[in-house]
Structure 1
Amino acid sequence: MKKRTVGSFDGPFAPMLDLFVKQKQALGYDYVGGYNALHVFDTFSKRYEVKNYELSKEIVLAWSQKRPNENDTTRSARIMYLQHFAIFLNSQGYSGYIAPPQKYHFSQHTAYVFTKAEIKKLFISLDQMEYTPNSPYRHLSFPLLYRMLYGCGFRISELLNLTVGDVDIERGIIHIHDSKNGNERLVPMAATLAARCRTYTESVHNDHEEDFPFFFKKDGTGYCVSNIERHFREQLWLAGIPYLGKELGPRVHDLRHTFICHRLNQWAKEGVDLTAMLPILSKYVGHTGIASTQYYLKLTAEAFPDVLEQMDELTGHVFPEVGGVMYEE
């Protein structure tokens, strides 16, 4: 796994920040998000006179102030990273003020679970895409990209970061690097999806090096998430699937939710022991722990009420009840 190079901090906490990030990486985390946030803090801290690496209450409270146009998720994350750094400073014998827990109002999305009929309509519409000179590869890339999102439950960022070398077309395995929380994993595909990847690779990647983007634009660069989100809403309209707005979706990420729910639904119908399979599914989709996957038991029961009784029999008194609408992104 590629690691973020440490050593570019130059503020009053630079040596401690270097040591802290290196410690995180030694534990197996890429820590890209933390590095980026702390790099900004490194510059921010130059405004203050700091002695003996003391992270004062004044500095922490100033850092915690809400910025113009900053959403609560971003603010919460950067405060969290500084909390972790303060704990580290204390463990090293220095003084670090730890910001108190704060309540935030997060914008919550309602997960949308596609029906099998909607998935079929979406793929039919995608397969009707035609060649255009401005985007000569899109009609080949997008039908595969959306099938991979639904067929393996990938996050869209994971697919857009793929290179040619990450896709083993012979064994049908995808190598995910630097995923959410700095994790990496190997993801085997179904034979039909692996065959599509093989056909696509042979069509567009004959002369490309292993570090070339697997999904790429005319200029050879990769797509960004906003490109895909915009196209996805267009594709929903062409497929006759209503877009219900930002909060209700459907969003690109809902294809990941749908993969998980459809898999749980199928297992429940087959009478599979979900207590045994849920940890496997959790690892397959890249959750950091089984708690993130437990949400989908409730979501699946809501989407497929006809299997509610089977799921209750398979999971009753084993998993805690999951409430609310929060779920892993």
Structure 2
Amino acid sequence: MIHGLRYHRNAPHSITGTTAELLSIVDTYAPPQLSFARLVPTYQVLLRLFYCCGLRLSEGCFLRRSCVDLIDGVLHILQSKGNKDRIVFMSRDVCHMCIVFDEYRDGIIPNRQWFFPGGKGDRPFEKTSLDRKFAQFWNKTAFTSRVDRKPTIQSLRHTFVVNKMNEWMEDDVDTGIMMPYLSRYLGHSSIAETQYLSIYHAAVPLKTNLLFFTIIKNSANAMSESNVERFMAKYANEARAQCISVPSKVHPYMFRRTRATQLLRHQNNKPKSQFG
């Protein structure tokens, strides 16, 4: 039995490549009741904070207005998971988005306590309500029938991590050096929490340093090359049903060569200095 890729109910789900359509649906959303129209800007801004800053659901919903520094572009996350505080920096465009939203909400609820007030105004936005609304938005995308399990708002946080790591790799940044900073930014207790692949081993009562392994006679062993090739052939056949350009024979080295080609093209497209 293969445990290295074993499904776990808490496995992170990234929706990289689908967020553009999802956010477009959020932006064009027209609630059935006019009284709910005032909540649309909250959906638009709050979901983007999850996606652009990697916030947890509770951190966004329970964000106090006093904890949002719109001058320096900083979010002060207080007493989050593990009773930890941290600072989250916003990009310039995200900060501008929050400034516009703050002015809009201040015109409706002056001197409000919560940055994202709920329906009654004097309480924060309810997590369950936002969860349900996110599910409605996702069900309107073209991807709703193409996934084995539906994503949640937490998936936006995972997507932030994936996008950031992809960005570093494209820019030839050492991810090993940057991981501690990313871990701190996310509010993790240790770098191990940021290494999302490790959760695939959570249900395995074996001590092993192997990332992908098989269990033979209650012992963890490195996955053989033939096993890897067999899995790749299996999923290539499934992918070929939807994409005819998938080669008839797929080999692990294809990924290695493809990645090398991408890096070479990226390097060649970089602007040259006057010194060559």
- TM superposition score category, shorter chain reference: 0.5 to 0.7
Cross-structure match for 1:249 = 150
Aligned counterparts of 2:27 and 2:110: Cα–Cα separation in 1: 25
Aligned counterparts of 1:282 and 1:224: Cα–Cα separation in 2: 27
Match of 1:127 among 27, 33, 36: 27
Q: Report deviation, 1:308.
A: 9.7
Helix, strand or coil at the partner of 1:134: helix
Aligned counterparts of 2:257 and 2:63: Cα–Cα separation in 1: 36
Q: Report deviation, 1:223.
A: 1.9
Match of 1:151 among 48, 52, 72: 52
Q: 1:223 to 1:308 in 2, by over 3 A?
A: farther
Cross-structure match for 1:286 = 187
Aligned counterparts of 1:290 and 1:248: Cα–Cα separation in 2: 27
Aligned counterparts of 1:181 and 1:255: Cα–Cα separation in 2: 21
Cross-structure match for 1:239 = 141
Counterpart contact for 1:136–1:218, Cα < 8 Å: no
Q: Which structure's relative contact order is higher, taking Cα pairs within 8 Å and 6+ residues apart?
A: 2
Q: After superposition, what is the alpha-carbon deviation per residue over 1:57-89, rounded to whole angstroms, capped at 9, x for unaligned?
A: xxxxxxxxxxxxxxxxxxxxxxxxxxxxxxxxx
Counterpart contact for 1:243–1:250, Cα < 8 Å: no
Counterpart contact for 1:112–1:250, Cα < 8 Å: yes
Q: After superposition, what is the alpha-carbon deviation per residue over 1:231-258, rounded to whole angstroms, capped at 9, x for unaligned?
A: 111000123331689x833111111111
Q: After superposition, what is the alpha-carbon deviation per residue over 1:258-278, rounded to whole angstroms, capped at 9, x for unaligned?
A: 100111111112110112100
Cross-structure match for 1:169 = 70
Cross-structure match for 1:219 = 120
Q: After superposition, what is the alpha-carbon deviation per residue over 1:24-43, rounded to whole angstroms, capped at 9, x for unaligned?
A: xxxxxxxxxxxxxxxxxxxx
Aligned counterparts of 2:189 and 2:258: Cα–Cα separation in 1: 26
Percent identity at matched positions?
26
Helix, strand or coil at the partner of 1:186: strand
Cross-structure match for 1:37 = none
Match of 1:230 among 132, 146, 157: 132
Cross-structure match for 2:251 = none
Q: Report deviation, 1:193.
A: 0.6
Q: Report deviation, 1:225.
A: 1.4
Aligned counterparts of 2:191 and 2:90: Cα–Cα separation in 1: 21
Helix, strand or coil at the partner of 2:44: helix
Q: Report deviation, 1:144.
A: 0.5
Helix, strand or coil at the partner of 1:135: helix
Aligned counterparts of 1:306 and 1:262: Cα–Cα separation in 2: 20
Match of 1:209 among 111, 130, 134: 111
Unaligned residue ranges in structure 2 (runs of 5+): 1-7, 201-254, 261-276
Helix, strand or coil at the partner of 1:175: strand
Q: 1:181 to 1:298 in 2, by over 3 A?
A: closer
Q: How many residue pairs were aligned?
A: 197
Amino acid at match of 1:195: H
Q: Report deviation, 1:137.
A: 2.2
Q: Report deviation, 1:298.
A: 9.7
Cross-structure match for 1:271 = 172
Q: 1:179 to 1:219 in 2, by over 3 A?
A: same
Amino acid at match of 1:153: G
Q: Report deviation, 1:176.
A: 0.5
Q: Aligned-pair RMSD on alpha carbons?
A: 2.8
Cross-structure match for 1:182 = 83
Q: After superposition, what is the alpha-carbon deviation per residue over 1:179-212, rounded to whole angstroms, capped at 9, x for unaligned?
A: 00000111111111111000000111245336x1
Aligned counterparts of 1:236 and 1:186: Cα–Cα separation in 2: 30
Unaligned residue ranges in structure 1 (runs of 5+): 1-106, 300-304, 311-329
For 1:1-329, list aligned pairs within 5 A: 108-116=9-17, 118-130=18-30, 132-206=33-107, 208-209=110-111, 212-220=113-121, 221-242=123-144, 248-295=149-196
Amino acid at match of 2:60: L
Q: 1:269 to 1:139 in 2, by over 3 A?
A: same
